[in-house]
Structure 1
Amino acid sequence: MDRESVRDAERVPHGGTTDRDVLDLSANTNPRSPPGTTAAYDAALGGSRRYPDDDYPEFREAAAAVVDVDPAQVVPTPGGLAAIRLALATAVDPGDRVAVPTPSFGEYAREVRLQGGEPAFVPVDEVLDVDPAEFAVVVVCTPNNPTGSLPDRPDLVALADRCADAGTRLLADEAFLGYTEQASLAGHRAVVVARSLTKLYGLPGLRAGYAVATGPARDDLATARRAWTLGAPAAAVGTHCLRQRGFVRDTREAVRRERRRLRTGLEPAFEVHPSAAPFLLLDCGGRDVDGLLTAAREQGVVLRDARTFRGLDSHVRIAVKDAHATDRTLEVLDVRADDA
């Protein structure tokens, strides 16, 4: 990390609220966690009187099975953002340029700057066409946050191949990919994948995730990773959740259903971006965004002010959760959906 750059850096706004008395649709997290999660945590808590096994064999095996790679390619991290920082810290030198999609997750640019690098902002629908030779790292978010767009996998693989030829790292943030049927880029020689348990498993406070890489990139990540990067409860709960394939299938179907209902209800009143993610991005057009957010908050529903994303000036993001959340959103925004 570049010391001078740290002094100039700023925090990035995020969704989420600590108010337990509201319906929080500003954070894209599953309202459910896999059955047995609490029991797994309780069972692991007693083991916290000792240091965890720093190799994390069970966690790595479970994560590897999810993305279909060898467990040796998995590097445990305390959340997906920690995997992103680790990937950039081991690839970006001061002055390096990094292709960063926009609008997208604000932490990419911040993490690049913390390393002394220069984020080169690229419209999200043009990232696949960049020349990797111009950058130390190219970042993709699949599906993209906040737009929900998901490039076809062959197009992503083609970009990864070009990155390999140029000696450029492709950082693939797959925080939301588990909500889709699309296969991970994990295992490609040019790619570092970042994943978390935050979104799909509904555990943002646990702080568990992992990076996946091959060859020298994997070795760099493994060496730079802090010792005991996961606490014993996080490792145990993470291992348990990563093995719950039925829970993931049920979650995917529920999100598809509620996303369709929510979109159908919102489209008469808003421009709604197509999405493969557990959220929808709304262009409010001439509406008063501040007024909309305030009115929703006064009725106990918190939406995400998407104007904090670079390039958006009239947008709101709404998390897709369960049927109650869909119904409540449409009620608060004074729109109706059919039951399709």
Structure 2
Amino acid sequence: MGDARMPKTRHGGAREDYLERFGCLPQDFSANVNPLGMSPAARQAAIAAVDQAVFYPDPNSRRLVGAIAAHDGVPESCVVVGNGAADLICRLAAAMAPRRALVLAPTFSEYEDALCQAGCEVVRHELLLQEDLVPTDRLLDDVVPGIDVVFVCEPNNPTGLCMGRPLLVRLLERCRQVGARLVVDECFNGFLPDPKGSSVRSLAVSNPHLVILAAFTKLYGMAGLRLGYLMCSDAELTHRVAAVGQSWPVSCVAQAAGVAALADADFVERTRCVVGLERERLMSALECLGLEVWCGQANYLLLRSRVENLYELLAERGVLVRDCSNYHGLGPGFVRVAVRRHQENDLLIETIGDVLSDAADKGGEL
């Protein structure tokens, strides 16, 4: 079975790493995907599209681009699709070739990674614990001349917290004033109580300084199919983003699944209902165990425990969570857990309770 310690991975969903260490698959709370699984409509469309996989996919993803444009109310010329949001983040950084960028800390590490690969200097805006890790007007002060692009995640990952549309609008105006672009990652927007009211994607049609990132990964449960898109009204930028990618960035299976997913409104509503109820229940139960819990609005929660090796202790009991000690601005004891179905969440609560009880018995502080 090899080394029985679970490595601290760069991202969640490290099922193969777990299998390699423990010889079995875990109950996975580390990846923030839809607890209901894949959209049934997307699954059926993907299966049907396999017969077409002998042919090259449409390099321009015409049907998918049309479906996204209709769904989000934007011109097709504003949409670029890719092999997941991570692919588009890398392509966007390469296409913009910025000299200096601003990112939050903590936030999704792919922004900084892609920017550094593009030869960009990265400046971090630190979110403060005394401000509950929520962006405030302090962020505007860091958008100064010389900043070429600002990346934000709404809701943020790993906190699940939103800065709110009013601050996003002020941030966009500040970016315009200094000549910077604002990239807003809305990959978790669909889990919010009011997705449309929280989004700024409607502004992308008229404001070339704004780029929106979105994906089918989380809400539609399509992580393994790799499908994402960006929206921007700057035709020159969208052309460059498309040009720096491979010739066939999205498979025919992913294209078909994406078109079908966008029409599966009932699945989305059912998901939002389940996640909303279970998130509140899970948050309350974890707080009762003595953990510090951030009131995330998406399908995951950020926790802090005084048992600093909580990640490893849970892994030994068959439960995989996302260790967050490698996020800038966090540290030991921080973990992120996905909101899953009722019975699965009960297992998480029980297992964390057992770990904390054992630590207390051994004289550890809780």
Which of residues 333, 347, 351 is equivalent to 1:332?
A: 351
* Equivalence map 1:52-201=2 (5 Å): 52-93=57-98, 96-124=99-127, 125=135, 126-180=138-192, 181-183=194-196, 184-186=199-201, 187=204, 188-201=207-220
Deviation per residue, 1:292-311 (Å, 9 max, x gap): 22332232211111111112
Give TM-score scaled by structure 1 length.
Answer: 0.89
The reply on whether 1:279 has 2:300 as its aligned counterpart is yes
Offset at 1:52? 1.6
CA RMSD of aligned residues (A): 1.9
Segment of structure 1 superposing worse, 71-80 or 160-169? 160-169
Offset at 1:156? 0.7
Offset at 1:209? 0.7
Which of residues 29, 32, 36 is equivalent to 1:28?
A: 32
List gaps (5 residues or longer) in structure 1: 1-11, 336-340
SS in structure 2 at match of 1:246: helix
SS in structure 2 at match of 1:164: helix
**Structure 2 match to 1:14:** 11
Offset at 1:128? 4.5
- Aligned counterparts of 2:240 and 2:251: Cα–Cα separation in 1: 22
- Aligned counterparts of 1:132 and 1:78: Cα–Cα separation in 2: 33
Question: Alpha carbons of 1:132 and 1:79: their partners in 2 closer, same or farther (altered >3 Å)?
Answer: farther
SS in structure 1 at match of 2:313: helix
The reply on whether 1:312 has 2:316 as its aligned counterpart is no
Offset at 1:132? 4.6
Indicate the percent of aligned positions where both proteins have the same amino acid: 34
**Structure 1 match to 2:361:** none
Q: How many residues align?
A: 320
Offset at 1:225? 3.3
- Aligned counterparts of 1:177 and 1:66: Cα–Cα separation in 2: 14
Amino acid at match of 2:149: V
Offset at 1:289? 2.3
* Equivalence map 1:200-211=2 (5 Å): 200-211=219-230
- Aligned counterparts of 1:113 and 1:283: Cα–Cα separation in 2: 29
Question: Alpha carbons of 1:132 and 1:224: their partners in 2 closer, same or farther (altered >3 Å)?
Answer: farther
- Aligned counterparts of 1:226 and 1:21: Cα–Cα separation in 2: 33
Amino acid at match of 1:294: E
Which of residues 314, 319, 335 is equivalent to 1:296?
A: 314
- Aligned counterparts of 2:115 and 2:307: Cα–Cα separation in 1: 33
Segment of structure 1 superposing worse, 52-61 or 273-282? 52-61
SS in structure 2 at match of 1:334: helix
- Aligned counterparts of 2:154 and 2:89: Cα–Cα separation in 1: 14
Deviation per residue, 1:210-237 (Å, 9 max, x gap): 1111123223223333221101111111
